[in-house]
Structure 1
Amino acid sequence: MTAPSVTTGAPPFFAARIALVFCAPMMVNGIALPFFPIWLETLSMSDFQIGIVLALPMFVRVFTAPVAGVIADRMGERSIVLLWSGLLSLLTTVALFATGSFWPILLLYTLQGAVYSPYVPITEAIMLSGVRRWNFDYGKMRLWGSLAFILATMIGGWLAGFYGGAMVLPALTAAFVLTVIGALITPKIGKPRRPSPIAAIAHVPGKSTLRQRDVQLMLIGVSLVSASHSMYYAFSAIHWQKMGFSGTDVGILWSAGVLAEVVMFVFAVQLRRRFNLWSMMVFGSTIAVGRWILFPMDMGFSGYLALQCLHAFTYAIIHISVQSRLVERVAEEQEAAAQGLYFFYMGIFTAIATFASGYAYSWYGVDGFYLMSVVAAAGLVCVVAGRLVAPSAAAQPQRAASGG
């Protein structure tokens, strides 16, 4: 008699379906992150106004995503929230076709940020439920989202070469249609057995291990390093187009960064075994400082392509190490709250940095990236401080399966 599979009891084709679901919001991000600022610039908005339009939704989603997470966790099926998120996001995108001025766009894009904010975290939560209940491979499911992002940026760059910023809203509309379809094919797994990270942020226990100084300094530090990417997200495509790069070139540059990130994730297990987690965080943070110092220099396409590959260190290696460190230092019953706090710090610091980048790019142009190196340096200082106050390995309680 054949032994039952680990995935016995899972919804049919769970891994394939959730991988496809995750591809949909990554297609949205693959269009919006590089090219939405270009569309805003075609409307003759100033760099300061572009910064505000991009920053305000980030502030809003920090507070709307946890509320949506609580609602989703209390429902019988979290996919219901995904459906509403996709539909409302699609409606706000269609509404953008009817306007071309600053205030209506700010209102609609902020509203879109609010209703779209829970889509990725809730999809992640459903994916992780599959990992916990039926032992599916998280990496193999998550990988398809990164590939979808690369595909979207390449298609977006190709379309931008023909139609410029005019292609952004039609492409975003098509991508949001995919989020609605994704919500409809999401596996039904019933009520969650533990809270989603964005829902758990409001329920940190009084004696939480999250309040340990090394954990707080680590989360603040890596969130600052992540926030130092804000000007890159907001103005890199605009800058490269001003340098004469085609839409396809911009798509390739963005794709290179994500591809480097994927390669780093593939070797995550080997890295954790070989290197100290704090050393990985310090190294990645240091690379981030150097990346934004180098960015204002005119290095040509090949130089920027090499610089984009540093994303493997300025994001991926840091994310790998901080998640592994949270497994070591945070009690299991507080894991969801830890992820929620990580989401909160990342959102707040990124929103502030994006707002500031609008001023910096308006005043100093590409030299404003030096400000981002200062933000990354502040994050590096926090990470180093966290390492200094962290207890030694011998003094830490060991957790079962902490290596995974």
Structure 2
Amino acid sequence: MRGNPDARQGAIALHGFYFLYYGLQGVSIPFLPLWFAERGLDSAFIGLIVATALLPKILSTPAVAHVADQTGRAHALIAAALIGSLLLYACYPLAATPAWLFAVTLLLNAVFPSVLPLLDRMAIASGRGQGNSYTIIRACGSLGFALMTVSGGYLIKTHGVNWVMWLPMLMIVACLAMLRLLPRAARPALDAAPATPGVTPMRAVLRDRPLLLCIAAASLVQASNGFLYSYSTLHWTAQGLSTALISLLWVVGVVSEVLFFFAAPKALARVGAPRLILISAVMTAIRWTGLALTADPAAIAALQLLQCFTLAGNNAAIMWHIAARAPATAKTSAIALYALLSGGVFMFASIQLGGALYRHYAPGGFLVMALCALGAVPLLRRARASRPAGAD
């Protein structure tokens, strides 16, 4: 890469693109529920929107990943998804009824999440299967999330909740401007092994039982964030915390996440990907249990430090495992399966169960998240039993 200016430019662009992509989520995930509440929606309907909006990616993400694995047209697919997302964000202020807000959110979540598996495929390809480059690139995403959460919290407090819409639109425009600089490493022609005749990329992933179980386990850990993403801001606001303070609490978690991403390659080399997912599941369950027991800002900040396992450890481990184990022509599909389970099927169930408890006992949603994370443990044991002797 040192001797290739185009490769260096592509790597820099990929770091910046992750920063913007996750920065957008750093505004929308914590504060979009507040924008919905400002429009007069009650907490039950907000929870329904947030949870149900996770489902469209179940169809769109694997479909886009399949096309990317088969054709290598990642850039065109990303451009289409970003343009669609920009148009849908622009529709939000025009949506006058809860039904229209619901419809716009469903469409947005069919389009925007399909970008991530394509980016992740580029990132793990840039590391040539070792995961080192991915963890640093992904850390830039976490930095973007943290900085935009702080900026969003300040702008919302100072200038009003409509910045929940303006900031994402500005970042999508910036992503589109940067798109042509991204590397073209996601093309299947760059991978060594051809696809098995008659076997689709997704089917190849589903036939690998140990890989499938590890993806499912990591997805449960990631999906356990459901209550945090959908109700925690409402819960902490009701406990008297300001949006500025809440944004700082989010940042505490993201900072620990960023630091762990830099340490992840050494941790993975030492304990292996499945074991790191297991450790992350247990530490995540401890985090959610603690958050169910306190609304003290100092205690919340301490527990937020465990996000280094919930996000960084778990995510780095599953990407490392996919890079090492998934067939070369099915890596995007493997990443898409993780995305649709962690941010779709399992996340939907997590939010629905957490929301049901929230309406009767608000901290109970965190306890549901703890059980969700612990659900990864038996899956990892089965994955270990299914692996050949001596395998990671």
Q: CA deviation at 1:260?
A: 1.0
How far the C-alpha of 1:109 sits from its partner, in A, is: 1.0
**Aligned counterpart for 2:288 among listed residues 278, 289, 292:** 292
From 69, 81, 84, the counterpart of 2:80: 84
What's the offset of the Cα at 1:7? 4.6
Q: After the TM superposition, which residues 304-315 of structure 1 pair with which residues of structure 2 at under 5 Å, given as runs? A: 304-315=300-311
CA 1:209 to 1:239, structure 2 compared with 1: closer, same or farther past 3 Å? closer
Structure 1: stretches of 5+ with no match in the other structure: 397-401
**2:80 matched to 1:113?**
no
Give CA deviations for 1:137-178 in whole Å, capped at 9, x if unaligned.
444433322211111001011112224533312222222222
Residue in structure 2 matched with residue 381 of structure 1 by the alignment: 378
After superposition, residues 185-264 of structure 1 pair within 5 angstroms as 185-187=181-183, 191-193=187-189, 203-204=200-201, 208=204, 210-264=206-260
Percent identical across equivalent pairs?
A: 22
- Given residue 302 of structure 1, which amino acid in structure 2 is its aligned partner? A
Change (3 A) 1:374 1:123: closer
Q: Deviations over 1:355-392 (max 9, x none)?
A: 33333322322222222222222222322343344443
The within-5 A match list for 1:224-373 is 224-326=220-322, 330=326, 332=328, 334-346=330-342, 347-373=344-370
User: How many Å separate the matches in 1 of 2:388 and 2:250?
Assistant: 39
CA gap 1:12/1:298 in 2 versus in 1, 3 angstroms: closer
Question: Structure 1 residue 67: deviation in Å?
Answer: 2.3
2:44 is aligned with 1:57? no
* Whole-Å separation in 2 of the counterparts to 1:290 and 1:251: 22
2:176 aligns with one of 180, 203, 207: 180
Counterpart code for 2:236: W
The TM-score, its normalising length taken from structure 2, stands at: 0.86
Cα separation, partners in 2 of 1:119 and 1:334, compared to 1, 3 Å: closer
Matched with 1:104 is 100
Cα-to-partner distance string for 1:216-254 (whole Å, 9 max, x where unaligned): 333222212221110011111112222222222111111
Structure 2: distance between partners of 1:266 and 1:26: 17
Q: Where does the alignment leave 5 or more consecutive residues of structure 2 unmatched?
A: none
Residue in structure 2 matching 1:20, options 8, 16, 19: 16
Based on CA coordinates, which of the two structures has the bigger radius of gyration? Answer: 1
What residue number does 2:153 align with? 157
Residues 225 and 285 in structure 1, CA contact (< 8 A), matched pair in contact too? yes
* TM value normalised by structure 1: 0.84
Residue equivalent to 1:392 = 389
Cα separation, partners in 2 of 1:143 and 1:315, compared to 1, 3 Å: closer
How far is 1:66 from its partner? 2.5
* 8 A Cα contact 1:7 1:136, kept in partner: no
Is 2:206–2:212's contact at 8 Å kept on the other side of the alignment?
yes
Q: Which residue of 2 aligns with 1:44?
A: 40
> Cα deviations across residues 274-315 of structure 1 (Å, max 9, x unaligned)?
335444332221122222222122241111111111111223
> How many residues are paired up?
385
Query: Which residue pairs with 1:31 in the alignment?
Result: 27
Against the structure 1 CA distance between its residues 71 and 389, is the aligned structure 2 distance closer, same or farther, given a 3 Å change threshold?
closer
Q: Counterparts of 1:76 and 1:326 in 2: how far apart (Å)?
A: 18
CA distance in 2, matches of 1:127, 1:372: 29
Q: CA deviation at 1:40?
A: 1.3
* Counterpart Cα distance in 1 of 2:209 and 2:72: 37
Structure 1 residue 58 displacement after superposition: 1.5
Using the TM superposition, give the Cα deviation of residue 20 of structure 1 relative to its aligned residue in structure 2, in angstroms.
1.8
Q: 1:293 to 1:108 in 2, by over 3 A?
A: same
Using the alignment, how far apart are the partners of 1:275 and 1:83 within structure 2?
Answer: 38
SS at structure 2 position matched to 1:117: helix
Deviation at residue 316 of structure 1 after TM alignment: 2.0
Where does residue 141 of structure 2 map in the other structure? 145
2-side partners of 1:328 and 1:12: how far apart?
24
Contact 2:125/2:186 (8 A) holds in 1? no
Listed one character per residue, the Cα deviations across residues 77-132 of structure 1 (whole Å, up to 9, x for unaligned) are 53222222222211111111112431100101111111212222223333444444
Query: Cα gap change, 1:296/1:156 in structure 2, threshold over 3 Å: closer, same or farther?
Result: same
